[in-house]
Protein backbone atom coordinates (compact mmCIF):
# COMPACT_ATOMS: atom_id res chain seq x y z
CA UNK A 1 0.00 0.00 0.00
CA UNK A 2 1.27 3.41 -0.97
CA UNK A 3 -0.42 6.72 -0.08
CA UNK A 4 -0.41 9.61 -2.52
CA UNK A 5 -1.58 13.18 -1.95
CA UNK A 6 -2.61 15.62 -4.68
CA UNK A 7 -1.50 18.91 -3.15
CA UNK A 8 -3.45 20.94 -5.69
CA UNK A 9 -6.60 19.55 -4.11
CA UNK A 10 -5.52 19.56 -0.45
CA UNK A 11 -6.81 22.38 1.76
CA UNK A 12 -5.41 21.00 4.98
CA UNK A 13 -8.75 20.24 6.63
CA UNK A 14 -7.00 17.61 8.71
CA UNK A 15 -9.57 14.84 8.57
CA UNK A 16 -6.79 12.41 7.59
CA UNK A 17 -4.58 13.45 10.48
CA UNK A 18 -7.53 13.13 12.83
CA UNK A 19 -8.21 9.60 11.57
CA UNK A 20 -4.69 8.21 11.13
CA UNK A 21 -2.13 10.49 12.82
CA UNK A 22 0.58 7.83 12.37
CA UNK A 23 0.50 8.39 8.63
CA UNK A 24 -0.69 11.96 8.02
CA UNK A 25 0.38 15.29 9.40
CA UNK A 26 -0.98 18.70 8.49
CA UNK A 27 1.75 21.33 8.20
CA UNK A 28 1.63 25.09 7.77
CA UNK A 29 2.35 26.53 4.36
CA UNK A 30 5.08 29.08 3.85
CA UNK A 31 2.85 31.77 2.37
CA UNK A 32 0.30 31.61 5.19
CA UNK A 33 -2.43 30.18 2.95
CA UNK A 34 -4.04 26.78 3.58
CA UNK A 35 -1.96 24.25 5.47
CA UNK A 36 -1.39 20.99 3.63
CA UNK A 37 -0.89 17.32 4.29
CA UNK A 38 2.51 15.72 4.70
CA UNK A 39 2.62 11.98 4.39
CA UNK A 40 4.74 10.77 7.28
CA UNK A 41 4.56 7.12 6.25
CA UNK A 42 4.08 6.83 2.48
CA UNK A 43 4.09 3.06 2.91
CA UNK A 44 2.14 2.59 6.11
CA UNK A 45 3.12 -0.07 8.63
CA UNK A 46 1.22 -3.33 8.60
CA UNK A 47 -1.94 -3.07 10.68
CA UNK A 48 -2.66 0.53 9.68
CA UNK A 49 -4.37 -0.34 6.39
CA UNK A 50 -7.92 -0.01 7.65
CA UNK A 51 -7.28 3.31 9.36
CA UNK A 52 -5.55 4.67 6.26
CA UNK A 53 -8.43 3.63 4.03
CA UNK A 54 -10.81 5.39 6.38
CA UNK A 55 -8.63 8.50 6.28
CA UNK A 56 -8.61 8.47 2.48
CA UNK A 57 -12.42 8.27 2.48
CA UNK A 58 -12.67 11.02 5.09
CA UNK A 59 -10.89 13.58 2.91
CA UNK A 60 -13.56 16.11 1.88
CA UNK A 61 -11.48 17.04 -1.18
CA UNK A 62 -10.64 13.55 -2.42
CA UNK A 63 -7.00 14.62 -2.35
CA UNK A 64 -5.71 11.25 -1.14
CA UNK A 65 -5.40 8.02 -3.03
CA UNK A 66 -3.87 4.58 -2.61
CA UNK A 67 -1.93 2.45 -4.98
CA UNK B 1 -5.09 30.48 -38.56
CA UNK B 2 -8.33 29.19 -39.97
CA UNK B 3 -8.41 25.74 -38.38
CA UNK B 4 -8.17 26.95 -34.81
CA UNK B 5 -11.08 25.53 -32.81
CA UNK B 6 -13.55 28.01 -31.34
CA UNK B 7 -16.50 27.58 -29.02
CA UNK B 8 -19.92 27.60 -30.64
CA UNK B 9 -22.03 30.65 -29.92
CA UNK B 10 -25.32 30.17 -28.10
CA UNK B 11 -28.33 31.23 -30.17
CA UNK B 12 -30.79 33.92 -29.18
CA UNK B 13 -28.49 36.88 -28.45
CA UNK B 14 -30.23 40.27 -28.61
CA UNK B 15 -28.61 43.51 -29.70
CA UNK B 16 -26.66 45.23 -26.93
CA UNK B 17 -27.84 42.99 -24.06
CA UNK B 18 -26.79 39.65 -25.60
CA UNK B 19 -28.20 36.71 -23.62
CA UNK B 20 -28.81 38.81 -20.52
CA UNK B 21 -32.60 38.34 -20.30
CA UNK B 22 -32.55 34.59 -20.60
CA UNK B 23 -29.65 34.33 -18.18
CA UNK B 24 -31.52 36.48 -15.62
CA UNK B 25 -34.71 34.50 -16.05
CA UNK B 26 -33.11 31.23 -14.94
CA UNK B 27 -29.33 30.98 -15.15
CA UNK B 28 -29.25 27.21 -14.61
CA UNK B 29 -31.76 26.50 -17.38
CA UNK B 30 -30.02 28.90 -19.72
CA UNK B 31 -26.64 27.27 -19.15
CA UNK B 32 -28.11 23.81 -19.62
CA UNK B 33 -29.64 24.91 -22.91
CA UNK B 34 -26.27 26.39 -23.91
CA UNK B 35 -24.61 23.04 -23.27
CA UNK B 36 -27.28 21.06 -25.16
CA UNK B 37 -26.91 23.36 -28.14
CA UNK B 38 -23.14 23.89 -28.22
CA UNK B 39 -21.57 21.00 -26.30
CA UNK B 40 -18.45 21.26 -24.16
CA UNK B 41 -17.73 24.93 -24.89
CA UNK B 42 -20.53 27.46 -25.29
CA UNK B 43 -19.93 31.16 -25.79
CA UNK B 44 -22.50 33.74 -24.71
CA UNK B 45 -22.71 37.43 -24.11
CA UNK B 46 -23.94 39.49 -21.15
CA UNK B 47 -24.06 43.17 -22.06
CA UNK B 48 -20.95 42.91 -24.20
CA UNK B 49 -18.97 40.80 -21.73
CA UNK B 50 -17.83 37.57 -23.29
CA UNK B 51 -18.58 34.41 -21.28
CA UNK B 52 -17.69 30.83 -22.10
CA UNK B 53 -19.38 27.91 -20.38
CA UNK B 54 -16.95 25.01 -19.90
CA UNK B 55 -19.08 21.91 -19.57
CA UNK B 56 -16.90 18.86 -19.08
CA UNK B 57 -14.93 17.51 -16.13
CA UNK B 58 -11.68 17.92 -18.11
CA UNK B 59 -12.38 21.57 -18.85
CA UNK B 60 -13.48 22.16 -15.26
CA UNK B 61 -10.29 20.53 -14.04
CA UNK B 62 -8.18 22.74 -16.33
CA UNK B 63 -9.74 25.86 -14.81
CA UNK B 64 -9.64 24.61 -11.20
CA UNK B 65 -5.99 23.63 -11.49
CA UNK B 66 -4.94 26.86 -13.18
CA UNK B 67 -3.07 29.44 -11.11
CA UNK B 68 -4.55 32.72 -9.88
CA UNK B 69 -2.21 34.47 -12.31
CA UNK B 70 -4.01 32.71 -15.18
CA UNK B 71 -7.65 32.70 -14.10
CA UNK B 72 -8.79 35.07 -11.40
CA UNK B 73 -11.70 34.60 -9.02
CA UNK B 74 -11.28 38.09 -7.69
CA UNK B 75 -11.85 39.89 -11.01
CA UNK B 76 -15.40 38.66 -11.76
CA UNK B 77 -16.52 38.92 -8.13
CA UNK B 78 -15.59 42.53 -7.44
CA UNK B 79 -19.29 43.23 -6.89
CA UNK B 80 -18.96 41.42 -3.57
CA UNK B 81 -16.57 44.04 -2.19
CA UNK B 82 -19.32 46.39 -0.92
CA UNK B 83 -20.99 43.37 0.72
CA UNK B 84 -18.03 42.08 2.72
CA UNK B 85 -16.08 45.33 2.88
CA UNK B 86 -12.74 46.71 1.79
CA UNK B 87 -9.85 44.70 3.18
CA UNK B 88 -11.85 41.48 3.12
CA UNK B 89 -11.82 38.72 0.50
CA UNK B 90 -11.66 40.24 -3.00
CA UNK B 91 -11.38 43.69 -1.45
CA UNK B 92 -7.91 42.64 -0.23
CA UNK B 93 -4.75 41.61 -2.11
CA UNK B 94 -4.61 37.95 -3.11
CA UNK B 95 -2.02 36.89 -0.52
CA UNK B 96 -4.13 38.44 2.25
CA UNK B 97 -7.34 36.86 0.98
CA UNK B 98 -5.70 33.43 0.84
CA UNK B 99 -4.68 33.79 4.50
CA UNK B 100 -8.17 34.92 5.48
CA UNK B 101 -9.56 31.73 3.97
CA UNK B 102 -7.04 29.83 6.06
CA UNK B 103 -8.44 31.56 9.17
CA UNK B 104 -11.79 30.09 8.22
CA UNK B 105 -10.34 26.64 7.69
CA UNK B 106 -8.59 26.86 11.09
CA UNK B 107 -12.00 27.52 12.60
CA UNK B 108 -13.38 24.40 10.87
CA UNK B 109 -10.79 21.86 12.00
CA UNK B 110 -12.02 18.44 13.20
CA UNK B 111 -11.55 19.36 16.86
CA UNK B 112 -13.69 22.47 16.39
CA UNK B 113 -16.28 20.51 14.46
CA UNK B 114 -17.04 18.47 17.58
CA UNK B 115 -17.97 21.67 19.39
CA UNK B 116 -20.11 22.90 16.51
CA UNK B 117 -21.81 19.51 16.29
CA UNK B 118 -23.05 20.03 19.86
CA UNK B 119 -24.29 23.54 19.13
CA UNK B 120 -26.08 22.41 15.97
CA UNK B 121 -27.63 19.38 17.67
CA UNK B 122 -28.98 21.53 20.47
CA UNK B 123 -30.51 24.02 18.03
CA UNK B 124 -32.08 21.31 15.88
CA UNK B 125 -33.57 19.44 18.86
CA UNK B 126 -34.96 22.68 20.33
CA UNK B 127 -36.35 23.73 16.97
CA UNK B 128 -38.43 20.62 16.37
CA UNK B 129 -39.32 20.01 20.04
CA UNK B 130 -42.80 21.52 19.71
CA UNK B 131 -43.75 20.19 16.28
CA UNK B 132 -46.33 17.81 17.74
CA UNK B 133 -47.57 14.59 16.13
CA UNK B 134 -48.10 15.96 12.67
CA UNK B 135 -48.42 19.10 10.64
CA UNK B 136 -47.53 20.95 7.47
CA UNK B 137 -44.64 23.36 7.15
CA UNK B 138 -43.08 25.46 4.45
CA UNK B 139 -39.69 23.77 4.47
CA UNK B 140 -37.69 26.43 2.66
CA UNK B 141 -38.49 29.11 5.23
CA UNK B 142 -38.31 26.62 8.08
CA UNK B 143 -34.72 25.69 7.31
CA UNK B 144 -33.78 29.27 6.61
CA UNK B 145 -34.79 30.08 10.17
CA UNK B 146 -33.11 27.00 11.63
CA UNK B 147 -29.83 27.43 9.74
CA UNK B 148 -29.69 31.08 10.73
CA UNK B 149 -29.88 29.94 14.36
CA UNK B 150 -27.28 27.17 14.02
CA UNK B 151 -24.90 29.35 12.00
CA UNK B 152 -25.01 32.34 14.32
CA UNK B 153 -24.55 30.01 17.30
CA UNK B 154 -21.41 28.41 15.80
CA UNK B 155 -20.05 31.67 14.45
CA UNK B 156 -20.79 34.17 17.14
CA UNK B 157 -21.39 32.07 20.24
CA UNK B 158 -24.26 31.50 22.61
CA UNK B 159 -24.66 35.08 23.86
CA UNK B 160 -25.09 36.53 20.40
CA UNK B 161 -27.41 33.69 19.45
CA UNK B 162 -29.58 34.34 22.52
CA UNK B 163 -29.95 37.96 21.51
CA UNK B 164 -30.65 37.09 17.88
CA UNK B 165 -33.62 39.06 16.61
CA UNK B 166 -35.52 39.04 13.35
CA UNK B 167 -33.58 42.15 12.39
CA UNK B 168 -30.44 40.15 11.73
CA UNK B 169 -32.16 37.91 9.18
CA UNK B 170 -33.88 40.87 7.52
CA UNK B 171 -30.60 42.75 7.19
CA UNK B 172 -29.03 39.71 5.66
CA UNK B 173 -31.76 39.48 3.06
CA UNK B 174 -31.24 43.10 2.09
CA UNK B 175 -27.57 42.34 1.61
CA UNK B 176 -28.44 39.39 -0.58
CA UNK B 177 -30.51 41.53 -2.89
CA UNK B 178 -27.12 42.80 -4.04
CA UNK B 179 -26.18 39.40 -5.43
CA UNK B 180 -29.33 39.05 -7.47
CA UNK B 181 -28.42 38.56 -11.15
CA UNK B 182 -29.33 42.21 -11.64
CA UNK B 183 -26.52 43.28 -9.36
CA UNK B 184 -23.93 41.25 -11.22
CA UNK B 185 -24.24 43.50 -14.22
CA UNK B 186 -25.32 46.75 -12.59
CA UNK B 187 -22.62 46.93 -9.98
CA UNK B 188 -22.21 50.42 -8.48
CA UNK B 189 -25.55 51.61 -9.81
CA UNK B 190 -27.65 53.96 -7.71
CA UNK B 191 -30.50 51.51 -7.52
CA UNK B 192 -32.55 51.30 -4.36
CA UNK B 193 -31.36 47.78 -3.58
CA UNK B 194 -27.81 49.03 -3.52
CA UNK B 195 -28.58 51.88 -1.17
CA UNK B 196 -30.41 49.41 1.05
CA UNK B 197 -27.47 47.05 0.85
CA UNK B 198 -25.08 49.70 2.12
CA UNK B 199 -27.46 50.63 4.91
CA UNK B 200 -27.89 47.00 5.88
CA UNK B 201 -24.15 46.42 5.80
CA UNK B 202 -23.55 49.42 8.08
CA UNK B 203 -26.15 48.20 10.59
CA UNK B 204 -24.67 44.66 10.53
CA UNK B 205 -21.26 46.17 11.17
CA UNK B 206 -22.66 47.88 14.25
CA UNK B 207 -24.36 44.73 15.59
CA UNK B 208 -21.40 42.45 14.95
CA UNK B 209 -18.85 44.98 16.16
CA UNK B 210 -20.64 45.12 19.49
CA UNK B 211 -20.20 41.35 19.80
CA UNK B 212 -16.53 41.64 18.81
CA UNK B 213 -15.92 44.28 21.48
CA UNK B 214 -17.73 42.29 24.13
CA UNK B 215 -15.61 39.28 23.32
CA UNK B 216 -12.39 41.30 23.43
CA UNK B 217 -13.32 42.33 26.96
CA UNK B 218 -14.13 38.71 27.96
CA UNK B 219 -12.80 37.61 31.35
CA UNK B 220 -11.79 34.00 31.82
CA UNK B 221 -11.88 31.10 29.38
CA UNK B 222 -13.42 32.32 26.10
CA UNK B 223 -15.91 30.13 24.18
CA UNK B 224 -14.80 28.08 21.18
CA UNK B 225 -16.53 29.56 18.15
CA UNK B 226 -15.49 31.22 14.91
CA UNK B 227 -15.52 34.69 16.39
CA UNK B 228 -12.87 33.56 18.85
CA UNK B 229 -10.88 31.94 16.02
CA UNK B 230 -10.91 35.18 14.07
CA UNK B 231 -9.76 37.12 17.12
CA UNK B 232 -6.85 34.72 17.59
CA UNK B 233 -5.98 34.37 13.88
CA UNK B 234 -2.53 35.51 12.77
CA UNK B 235 -1.15 36.36 9.36
CA UNK B 236 2.25 34.88 8.60
CA UNK B 237 3.92 38.13 9.71
CA UNK B 238 2.40 37.69 13.16
CA UNK B 239 -0.22 40.43 12.93
CA UNK B 240 -3.89 39.71 13.59
CA UNK B 241 -7.09 40.71 11.85
CA UNK B 242 -8.06 44.29 12.59
CA UNK B 243 -11.13 44.00 14.86
CA UNK B 244 -13.24 46.16 12.54
CA UNK B 245 -12.67 43.63 9.73
CA UNK B 246 -14.08 40.74 11.76
CA UNK B 247 -17.73 41.64 11.02
CA UNK B 248 -16.85 41.37 7.32
CA UNK B 249 -15.35 37.93 7.87
CA UNK B 250 -18.56 36.86 9.60
CA UNK B 251 -20.74 38.24 6.80
CA UNK B 252 -18.53 36.48 4.26
CA UNK B 253 -18.73 33.06 5.90
CA UNK B 254 -22.48 33.52 6.48
CA UNK B 255 -22.92 34.28 2.80
CA UNK B 256 -21.15 31.09 1.91
CA UNK B 257 -23.03 28.88 4.30
CA UNK B 258 -26.48 30.24 5.00
CA UNK B 259 -28.70 29.75 1.95
CA UNK B 260 -26.55 27.01 0.49
CA UNK B 261 -27.10 24.81 3.56
CA UNK B 262 -30.71 25.77 4.19
CA UNK B 263 -31.64 25.13 0.55
CA UNK B 264 -29.86 21.80 0.55
CA UNK B 265 -31.77 20.73 3.67
CA UNK B 266 -35.03 21.80 2.00
CA UNK B 267 -34.22 19.97 -1.25
CA UNK B 268 -33.22 16.85 0.70
CA UNK B 269 -36.56 16.82 2.54
CA UNK B 270 -38.42 17.38 -0.70
CA UNK B 271 -36.62 14.41 -2.30
CA UNK B 272 -37.32 12.28 0.79
CA UNK B 273 -41.00 13.10 0.40
CA UNK B 274 -40.91 12.36 -3.32
CA UNK B 275 -39.26 8.97 -2.82
CA UNK B 276 -40.83 7.07 0.08
CA UNK B 277 -38.75 3.96 -0.68
CA UNK B 278 -35.47 5.87 -0.34
CA UNK B 279 -36.84 7.65 2.70
CA UNK B 280 -37.29 4.27 4.39
CA UNK B 281 -33.66 3.39 3.66
CA UNK B 282 -32.42 6.60 5.27
CA UNK B 283 -34.77 6.09 8.24
CA UNK B 284 -33.36 2.59 8.70
CA UNK B 285 -29.84 3.94 8.88
CA UNK B 286 -30.88 6.76 11.22
CA UNK B 287 -32.53 4.23 13.55
CA UNK B 288 -29.43 2.07 13.57
CA UNK B 289 -27.18 4.90 14.78
CA UNK B 290 -29.52 7.19 16.72
CA UNK B 291 -32.38 6.99 19.17
CA UNK B 292 -30.86 4.66 21.75
CA UNK B 293 -29.61 7.43 24.00
CA UNK B 294 -26.70 8.65 21.85
CA UNK B 295 -25.98 12.33 21.42
CA UNK B 296 -27.16 13.71 18.12
CA UNK B 297 -23.84 15.55 17.86
CA UNK B 298 -21.89 12.32 18.15
CA UNK B 299 -24.13 10.60 15.61
CA UNK B 300 -23.93 13.34 12.99
CA UNK B 301 -20.14 13.12 13.01
CA UNK B 302 -20.19 9.40 12.25
CA UNK B 303 -20.02 7.84 8.83
CA UNK B 304 -23.60 7.42 7.58
CA UNK B 305 -23.14 6.13 4.03
CA UNK B 306 -26.85 5.91 3.13
CA UNK B 307 -27.68 9.39 4.41
CA UNK B 308 -24.53 10.85 2.88
CA UNK B 309 -25.32 9.20 -0.45
CA UNK B 310 -28.76 10.74 -0.26
CA UNK B 311 -27.36 14.21 0.45
CA UNK B 312 -24.77 13.80 -2.33
CA UNK B 313 -27.49 12.97 -4.82
CA UNK B 314 -29.50 15.96 -3.58
CA UNK B 315 -26.47 18.18 -4.20
CA UNK B 316 -25.96 16.63 -7.61
CA UNK B 317 -29.44 17.44 -8.88
CA UNK B 318 -29.87 20.65 -6.91
CA UNK B 319 -26.48 22.32 -6.48
CA UNK B 320 -27.30 25.61 -4.71
CA UNK B 321 -24.75 27.57 -6.73
CA UNK B 322 -25.17 27.04 -10.47
CA UNK B 323 -22.73 29.57 -11.84
CA UNK B 324 -19.11 29.85 -10.76
CA UNK B 325 -16.97 32.40 -12.57
CA UNK B 326 -13.30 32.95 -13.25
CA UNK B 327 -11.79 35.61 -15.46
CA UNK B 328 -8.83 35.14 -17.79
CA UNK B 329 -6.02 37.47 -16.67
CA UNK B 330 -2.46 38.35 -17.77
CA UNK B 331 -2.27 36.12 -20.85
CA UNK B 332 -4.76 34.20 -22.99
CA UNK B 333 -5.95 30.90 -21.49
CA UNK B 334 -5.83 27.86 -23.68
CA UNK B 335 -7.94 24.75 -23.51
CA UNK B 336 -7.77 22.02 -26.17
CA UNK B 337 -6.51 24.47 -28.76
CA UNK B 338 -9.22 27.06 -27.99
CA UNK B 339 -7.73 30.37 -26.99
CA UNK B 340 -9.67 32.58 -24.57
CA UNK B 341 -8.54 36.19 -24.56
CA UNK B 342 -7.77 38.16 -21.42
CA UNK B 343 -11.04 39.41 -19.91
CA UNK B 344 -13.10 36.40 -20.97
CA UNK B 345 -15.28 35.08 -18.16
CA UNK B 346 -14.99 31.32 -17.80
CA UNK B 347 -18.17 29.83 -16.40
CA UNK B 348 -18.35 26.53 -14.57
CA UNK B 349 -21.80 25.25 -13.82
CA UNK B 350 -22.27 22.43 -11.31
CA UNK B 351 -25.88 22.25 -12.53
CA UNK B 352 -24.73 21.41 -16.05
CA UNK B 353 -21.79 19.23 -15.04
CA UNK B 354 -24.06 17.12 -12.85
CA UNK B 355 -26.30 16.41 -15.83
CA UNK B 356 -23.63 15.18 -18.25
CA UNK B 357 -24.94 11.76 -19.29
CA UNK B 358 -21.44 10.26 -19.79
CA UNK B 359 -20.81 10.70 -16.07
CA UNK B 360 -24.34 10.50 -14.71
CA UNK B 361 -26.45 8.10 -16.78
CA UNK B 362 -30.14 9.08 -16.92
CA UNK B 363 -29.18 12.36 -15.25
CA UNK B 364 -32.64 13.66 -14.29
CA UNK B 365 -33.43 10.57 -12.26
CA UNK B 366 -32.91 10.92 -8.52
CA UNK B 367 -30.87 7.89 -7.53
CA UNK B 368 -29.07 7.95 -4.17
CA UNK B 369 -27.32 4.68 -5.07
CA UNK B 370 -25.44 6.27 -7.94
CA UNK B 371 -21.73 5.50 -7.65
CA UNK B 372 -19.38 8.47 -7.30
CA UNK B 373 -18.12 9.37 -10.77
CA UNK B 374 -14.55 8.33 -11.56
CA UNK B 375 -13.54 11.80 -12.66
CA UNK B 376 -12.58 13.99 -9.70
CA UNK B 377 -14.04 17.08 -11.35
CA UNK B 378 -17.43 15.72 -12.44
CA UNK B 379 -19.31 16.11 -9.16
CA UNK B 380 -18.55 19.66 -8.03
CA UNK B 381 -21.32 21.03 -5.76
CA UNK B 382 -18.60 22.74 -3.69
CA UNK B 383 -16.41 23.72 -6.64
CA UNK B 384 -12.87 22.37 -6.84
CA UNK B 385 -9.17 23.05 -6.52
CA UNK B 386 -7.67 25.57 -4.14
CA UNK B 387 -10.86 27.59 -4.05
CA UNK B 388 -13.19 24.77 -3.21
CA UNK B 389 -15.76 25.69 -0.56
CA UNK B 390 -14.02 25.63 2.80
CA UNK B 391 -17.27 24.82 4.62
CA UNK B 392 -17.84 21.51 2.84
CA UNK B 393 -17.61 19.28 5.92
CA UNK B 394 -19.51 21.79 8.06
CA UNK B 395 -22.36 21.79 5.53
CA UNK B 396 -22.59 18.01 5.67
CA UNK B 397 -22.57 18.07 9.46
CA UNK B 398 -25.39 20.59 9.46
CA UNK B 399 -27.60 18.78 6.95
CA UNK B 400 -26.96 15.36 8.54
CA UNK B 401 -27.91 16.71 11.97
CA UNK B 402 -31.16 18.10 10.61
CA UNK B 403 -32.11 14.93 8.71
CA UNK B 404 -31.17 12.62 11.59
CA UNK B 405 -33.19 14.53 14.18
CA UNK B 406 -36.16 14.93 11.85
CA UNK B 407 -36.34 11.37 10.55
CA UNK B 408 -35.85 9.79 13.94
CA UNK B 409 -39.25 11.27 14.79
CA UNK B 410 -41.14 11.97 11.59
CA UNK B 411 -41.90 10.74 8.10
CA UNK B 412 -42.23 13.30 5.35
CA UNK B 413 -44.73 13.41 2.50
CA UNK B 414 -45.82 15.78 -0.25
CA UNK B 415 -48.77 18.09 0.33
CA UNK B 416 -49.27 19.41 -3.21
CA UNK B 417 -49.26 17.60 -6.58
CA UNK B 418 -45.67 16.52 -7.40
CA UNK B 419 -45.39 18.70 -10.52
CA UNK B 420 -46.03 21.90 -8.53
CA UNK B 421 -42.64 21.60 -6.78
CA UNK B 422 -40.30 23.26 -9.25
CA UNK B 423 -36.74 24.63 -9.22
CA UNK B 424 -36.58 28.40 -9.37
CA UNK B 425 -33.83 31.01 -9.33
CA UNK B 426 -34.97 34.35 -7.97
CA UNK B 427 -31.31 34.97 -7.09
CA UNK B 428 -28.14 33.14 -8.07
CA UNK B 429 -29.18 30.29 -5.78
CA UNK B 430 -31.29 27.41 -7.05
CA UNK B 431 -34.21 26.85 -4.69
CA UNK B 432 -37.49 24.96 -4.55
CA UNK B 433 -40.49 27.03 -5.64
CA UNK B 434 -42.68 28.66 -3.03
CA UNK B 435 -44.49 27.22 -1.17
CA UNK B 436 -42.42 24.11 -0.52
CA UNK B 437 -45.04 22.60 1.78
CA UNK B 438 -44.35 19.17 3.24
CA UNK B 439 -46.31 17.12 5.75
CA UNK B 440 -44.57 15.54 8.72
CA UNK B 441 -46.19 12.67 10.59
CA UNK B 442 -44.89 11.07 13.77
CA UNK B 443 -43.48 7.65 13.08
CA UNK B 444 -44.95 4.52 14.67
CA UNK B 445 -42.04 2.77 16.33
The residues with which B431 forms a beta bridge, in sequence order, are: B424
B2-47 tens-digit pLDDT: 678 999 999 999 999 999 999 988 999 999 999 999 999 999 999 9
Cβ pair A35:B99 closer than 8 A = no
List the one residue out of B240, B250, B262, B151 whose CA is nearest residue B209: B250
Torsion, Cα B59 B62 B63 B69, to 10 degrees, reads -150
B226-240 tens-digit pLDDT: 999 999 999 999 999
pLDDT the model gives residue B189? 58
d(CA B162, CA B149): 9
With CA atoms as reference, the chain A residue closest to B396 would be A60
From residue B46, how far is each of B115, B345, B385 by CA, in Å? 45, 10, 27
Domains for chain A: give ranges and CATH numbers. Answer: 3-66 (3.30.70.20)
d(CA A15, CA A55): 7
CB contact at 8 A, B70 and B43: no
pLDDT band, very low/low/confident/very high, at B178 (cuts 50, 70, 90): low
What is the nearest CA distance from A35 to chain B, expressed in angstroms? 8
Residues with Cβ within 8 Å of B144's Cβ and at least 6 positions away in sequence, in order, are: B169, B258, B259, B262
Domain boundaries, chain B: 8-442
d(CA B385, CA B380): 10
**CATH value of B8-442 in 2.60.120.330, 3.40.50.720, 1.10.630.10, 3.40.190.10:** 1.10.630.10
Whether residue B203 is predicted with pLDDT greater than 90 in this model: the reply is yes
Number of neighbouring beta carbons within 10 Å of residue B312: 15
pLDDT the model gives residue B110? 82
Judge residue B337's burial from the number of C-beta atoms within 10 Å of its C-beta, 0-12 exposed, 13-18 middle, 19 or more buried: exposed
CB contact at 8 A, B63 and B348: yes
ipTM over 0.85: yes
Coil/strand/helix, residue B157: coil
- Residues from chain B contacting residue A34 (CB–CB below 8 Å): 98, 101-102, 105, 386
* Cα-based angle B226, B227, B230 (whole degrees, multiple of 5): 85
How large is the greatest C-alpha to C-alpha distance in chain B, in angstroms?
Answer: 72
What is the nearest CA distance from B102 to chain A, expressed in angstroms? 5
Whether residue B412 is predicted with pLDDT greater than 90 in this model: the reply is yes
Nearest to B388 among A11, A30, A57 (CB): A11
Percentage above 70 pLDDT, chain B: 96
What is the nearest CA distance from B382 to chain A, expressed in angstroms? 9
CB contact at 8 A, B265 and B151: no
**Cis before B435 (ω within 30):** yes
d(CA B11, CA B19): 9
Rg of the Cα trace of chain A?
Answer: 11
Amino acid sequence: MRVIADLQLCQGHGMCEDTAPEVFRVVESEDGSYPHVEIVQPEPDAGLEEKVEEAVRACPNRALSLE
Amino acid sequence: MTDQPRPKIVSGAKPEIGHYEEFMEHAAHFLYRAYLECGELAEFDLYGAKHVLLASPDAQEAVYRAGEDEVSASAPYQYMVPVFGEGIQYGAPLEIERQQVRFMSDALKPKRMKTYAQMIAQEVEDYIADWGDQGVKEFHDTFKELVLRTSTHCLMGAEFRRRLTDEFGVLFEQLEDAISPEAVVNFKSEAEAFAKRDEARARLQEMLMQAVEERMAWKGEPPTDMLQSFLEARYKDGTGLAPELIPGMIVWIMFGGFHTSSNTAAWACLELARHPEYQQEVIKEVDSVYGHGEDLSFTALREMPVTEGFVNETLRLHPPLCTLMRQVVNQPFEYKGNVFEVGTNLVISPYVSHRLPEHFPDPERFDPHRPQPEHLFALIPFGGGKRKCVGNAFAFLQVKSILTALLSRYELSLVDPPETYREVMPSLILRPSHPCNLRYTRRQR
